[in-house]
Structure 1
């Protein structure tokens, strides 16, 4: 039997609830909802780090960030790190990554230089949309060179500093970056970064349709800035979109110029529009699999690297302390040839480190002992599967664990936070000093200690001593 193909559709900064299938009545995601109806929807799936680079290498290595020594940003991933394409290579797979990978810091290098392959056979890397001379700009230059002046969404501040210090002139037109509002993409909608990722992913699949393949479609959306083609913005009337329900101490800080309802609704319009643009391309990718006769034996995994505050806690983007809006992201697995009783929702706790061993087991490939996740294959086959007791998130200087009812955060300075999620799902009320929750605090401390001991991964011994 031919081993299954594997397609990862990997977005950036997509919250768990930014999906119609996860109960959001405001957002338009018909193709992702279709994917959920045809697969298994993991609705308590948690990532292991709240920002891009550590989360992505943890996901693709099946290991916790601390075991990799990568718990914060700007740490280049060592080229000998064992990730999925290296594990597939001996079994005849051809592997590719289109779009975002983010294994290297992107603001202090020339993106025209050859990128380390990390075991991939095919790489078209573009970690940011249009602000560097990379695979995306090269694609636009070939497809529609007159559109090049429209595709940068703004240069990151660190890259701007690098260009100034190093006297680099990039000759790229950069607009203002990250206004706190939705904005229309100024170019043709068929040359957005999302269009690039989808078109080149389709090309990769078509080129290797007669082989066993694995491809990552690395979408940048719905990461800030909130820019999408007008057609997708028009799906949403900002006046009809909801705003967060703030506790009194935060509500009192808001004003017409600081997290106003108008600003929050505009941001949500842009964010949702970016998700809807990706959703359209997800539909095209699924349709291409159908047209090529590949759908039945292709494992499709849709997920994201972390979430987005979207105005909650009077914040945008992501980071400490990794509340559910940051740590809990969508994860849908579709595999017609393998999944029994599709359309199920699994509400037990699962983690991003679980996906790699799951894929290997489903592909009939040995799972190395160094992998720290738990295979979800029994869940896909509708066998007895309980999920995990807790999920772990690690960052330099702090860690947190999430159980069914609690999230506990411990920092290197000794500060602790405890949130009771049934009453406080947004995690505003720290109960660490509350007498009624001391037993829960002690329990979560113990769980954290045990989890850290389990995650410890010393170097392999070669003999008894």
Structure 2
């Protein structure tokens, strides 16, 4: 692709689509991200395929829906045989690296069955979603929290932060009046400054490591997945970002009494989770959300530093840049905390794409209202790299035509997302077995329909009710519409790419050739 040599794929964990000034936030200013949007395209109706870290990321990396790749929740391994963007790009000459988080759980049993040593070069790639782990750091992954050899922990200790786990004791903890460590895991401490110099905290560290990767790649063509841990919890920020914003600069909470009085049974179960109970309190939101905003501001500042580095090194002229998130964050909206369900605050994600080629000049600074999904990035990167399309595996669509202002008459008319809440307390509250804790969303231009296994559906009119307060899942007047959207969801389910070992072109070559190949059936 003329004008593109490298790919920078930036993901900020749990960054809400509406927490950018270019996306309408009135008090949180993100000038560097806004600048990228002015040079590229902002897709304002982008959706993740599963609003939780692990399965969402596996959809980004494989270009496949959660049902297709099977890694349905955090800690559920991605099959060793699933191809990811690294598998598509590496044969085309790309160095495909990772700096930061993937939330990947390796398929150790699958590799053992195939005789692949996890420590071999192939085993490492399979274990790391197809990325070269230049700096793998999930930050809050349980086995890394206590890992003394974690690179960031070792780096902090070398900088003088004396602790077995400085990630927690300094980068993600505040300090009490007597010098005691106050953990950032507890939201009551979110307004404290982290016990670390700002330049040593996670976001600047990962930015530095990204620049290290780019420098080390030299003339090698590269794709770098820069995956920031923040603004994901623990909600704690270093000074001056810890108190840069206050309650008066927060967006109004999106809650209605009606949705709290008579919620859908599954939503009601999620409302009983501890994070939902606490985020429903105004005093909790007043402490946590300003810190969340500060973490977003810190991210923007260091992205500005990264973009300046790319300008100085000439890489802005030959690098495709994508900025996105794996999912949103309820932050108390709809009486909920965390993510997982399908309100816009949870399932919609930021998506900005910058293409350096002159062919993209016509769309620079545009807001594209088309439905875009996380699975679109893998085919986009393959398209950029000049690879052969893989429609029998990849379920997304390349964004390049839209970046170049070309007509895309067959573009999707709806977005889809899925949820497996088998691992959450809500399943026990509802008395469900693990294989029944499933939900599916289809979102069209006006309507959002959600199907829950074993429960009534939900329906929202996003034209008349953009904040999704009025659930029409039992409205007699909308029965026909619910049937239509349920049929649409079933059609989508039947169209998953399941024949992944043979291309459509190979199928065409073999169709109707049995007799020519000497296989005679039904011949008189």
Query: TM-score with structure 1 length normalisation?
Result: 0.88
2:383 paired residue among 361, 377, 380 = 361
Shift of 1:147: 7.4
Task: Please tell me whether residue 385 in structure 1 is matched to residue 385 in structure 2.
Answer: no
Query: Which residue is 1:446 aligned to?
Result: 487
Shift of 1:132: 3.6
Task: Please tell me whether residue 267 in structure 1 is matched to residue 288 in structure 2.
Answer: yes
Write the distance in 2 (CA, Å) between the matches of 1:292 and 1:348: 34
2:157 paired residue among 131, 141, 145 = 141
Query: Which residue is 2:216 aligned to?
Result: 207
Change (3 A) 1:276 1:240: closer
Query: Which residue is 1:162 aligned to?
Result: none
Per-residue CA deviation, residues 286-308 of structure 1 (Å, 9 max, x unaligned), is: 11111111101100100000010
2:145 paired residue among 117, 131, 142 = 131
CA contact (8 A) 2:30 2:300 kept: yes
Shift of 1:234: 3.3
Change (3 A) 1:447 1:242: same
Per-residue CA deviation, residues 59-97 of structure 1 (Å, 9 max, x unaligned), is: 011011111112223212233321111111111111210
Write the distance in 2 (CA, Å) between the matches of 1:238 and 1:148: 35
Write the distance in 1 (CA, Å) between the matches of 2:440 and 2:223: 32
Shift of 1:149: 5.8
Query: Which residue is 1:276 aligned to?
Result: 297
Shift of 1:153: 6.9
Per-residue CA deviation, residues 396-454 of structure 1 (Å, 9 max, x unaligned), is: 31111111111111111142111111222232321022123223212211210111111
CA contact (8 A) 2:250 2:289 kept: yes
Of 221-230 and 139-148, deviating more is: 139-148
| 1:181-260 aligned within 5 A | 181-249=190-258, 259-260=280-281
Write the distance in 2 (CA, Å) between the matches of 1:245 and 1:292: 44
Query: Which residue is 1:327 aligned to?
Result: 347
| 1:149-188 aligned within 5 A | 150-152=166-168, 175=183, 177-180=185-188, 181-188=190-197
CA contact (8 A) 1:154 1:176 kept: no
Change (3 A) 1:408 1:178: farther
Aligned length: 441
Of 77-86 and 351-360, deviating more is: 77-86
Change (3 A) 1:48 1:127: same
CA contact (8 A) 1:131 1:174 kept: no
Of 183-192 and 25-34, deviating more is: 183-192
Write the distance in 2 (CA, Å) between the matches of 1:297 and 1:96: 17
1:393 partner SS: strand
Query: Which residue is 1:166 aligned to?
Result: none
Shift of 1:143: 4.0
CA contact (8 A) 1:15 1:329 kept: yes
Write the distance in 2 (CA, Å) between the matches of 1:179 and 1:258: 10
CA contact (8 A) 1:49 1:327 kept: yes
Write the distance in 2 (CA, Å) between the matches of 1:241 and 1:204: 36
Shift of 1:184: 1.9
Write the distance in 2 (CA, Å) between the matches of 1:433 and 1:312: 23
Which one has the largest radius of gyration? Answer: 2
2:381 partner SS: helix
2:372 paired residue among 350, 357, 371 = 350
Per-residue CA deviation, residues 24-57 of structure 1 (Å, 9 max, x unaligned), is: 1121211101110110000000000010100001
Write the distance in 1 (CA, Å) between the matches of 2:183 and 2:285: 22
Write the distance in 2 (CA, Å) between the matches of 1:314 and 1:154: 32
CA contact (8 A) 2:184 2:236 kept: no
| 1:280-295 aligned within 5 A | 280-295=301-316
1:81 partner SS: coil
Write the distance in 2 (CA, Å) between the matches of 1:176 and 1:362: 41
CA contact (8 A) 2:69 2:79 kept: no
Write the distance in 2 (CA, Å) between the matches of 1:241 and 1:416: 32
CA contact (8 A) 2:48 2:327 kept: yes
Of 40-49 and 90-99, deviating more is: 90-99
2:145 partner SS: coil
CA contact (8 A) 2:104 2:128 kept: no
Write the distance in 1 (CA, Å) between the matches of 2:223 and 2:337: 33
1:375 paired residue among 391, 398, 414 = 398
Query: Which residue is 1:161 aligned to?
Result: none
Change (3 A) 1:383 1:257: closer
Write the distance in 2 (CA, Å) between the matches of 1:177 and 1:449: 41
Change (3 A) 1:120 1:258: closer
Query: TM-score with structure 2 length normalisation?
Result: 0.78
RMSD: 2.8
Query: Which residue is 1:81 aligned to?
Result: 82
